[in-house]
Amino acid sequence: MLYSSITGTGPNLVLLHGWGFNSELFDNLVNEYKDRYRITTIDLPGHGQSDDVDGGLDDWCNEIIKILPKNPILLGWSLGGLLAIHVASQVPTTKLILVASTPNFVQSDDWPYGIDADNFMQFSDALQLNLSKGLKRFVSLQTQDKVQLKTLNQSIDQYPATTKALNQGLDILLTTDLVSEFEQLEIPVEVILGDHDTLVPHRINRWYDKINVRTQVLNTGHLPFLHKGFTL
């Protein structure tokens, strides 16, 4: 069973975090917008306080769908964005917001907007050698707010992701191509990117522009919502 929490009043907004983290990553965002939205945060399978789930993308998304409110706005960061795309293709959704995310993370001959698979594996291998230390260092490169860093570091230590979930998540990131699925969505989509992001190169905004998807590029890295310029 997946852990979820609901805060605030207004239209339903669901937040899906990324690989290795948990929903507490969104605490500042929740506090800022709880007077405008009824916000549901969800810990991905094997992350935070959620149990492991067997399988891959479909199985993870099926568990998410079970606890979704009606017609939500879906916001997905990084891996959470990939999941949000797949969920939005299956259930009624008001709007999709992708934050530092893409329908295909890995570069190929016909998809120049991802990152090299070998580089991605080196990054993930380095993180997994000491997940807590690796995630803390990653976050420290994204924000200089000491209060924010302390809170995030405590959350990383308190709720480490399981090895099974980390491996599943990496497999989803490395093997999932939802480009066609994304292009078929018939809902409003907004994309927020960081111009210093090394995992989702901001040049993908060229592709989003081609298919008439609104993009916003902020002066940030892979965690745009930690910065003051981020708005919904």
Q: Hey, what are 210's tokens?
A: 């081609």
- Active-site option among 50, 78, 101, 124: 78
Q: Could you give the count of Cα atoms lying within 13 Å of 2 in the half-sphere of its Cβ?
A: 25
DSSP 37: -
d(CA 108, CA 132): 31
User: Based on C-alpha coordinates, what's the Rg of the chain?
Assistant: 16
d(CA 69, CA 65): 9
- Active-site option among 17, 47, 86, 222: 222
- What CA–CA distances, in Å, run from 94 to 12, 89, 226? 9, 12, 24
Contact 209, 189 (CB under 8 A): no
Instruction: Note if 140 is an active site residue.
Output: no
Instruction: Note if 47 is an active site residue.
Output: no
Q: Which among 81, 6, 74, 78 has a CA at the least distance from the CA of 40?
A: 6
The DSSP annotation for 159-185 comes to SPPPHHHHHHHHHHHHH---HHHHHT-
Handedness of CA 138, 141, 29, 103 (dihedral sign): negative
Identity at 198, one-letter amino acid code: T
Contact 116, 154 (CB under 8 A): no
Instruction: Note if 197 is an active site residue.
Output: yes
Just list the catalytic residues. Answer: 78, 197, 222
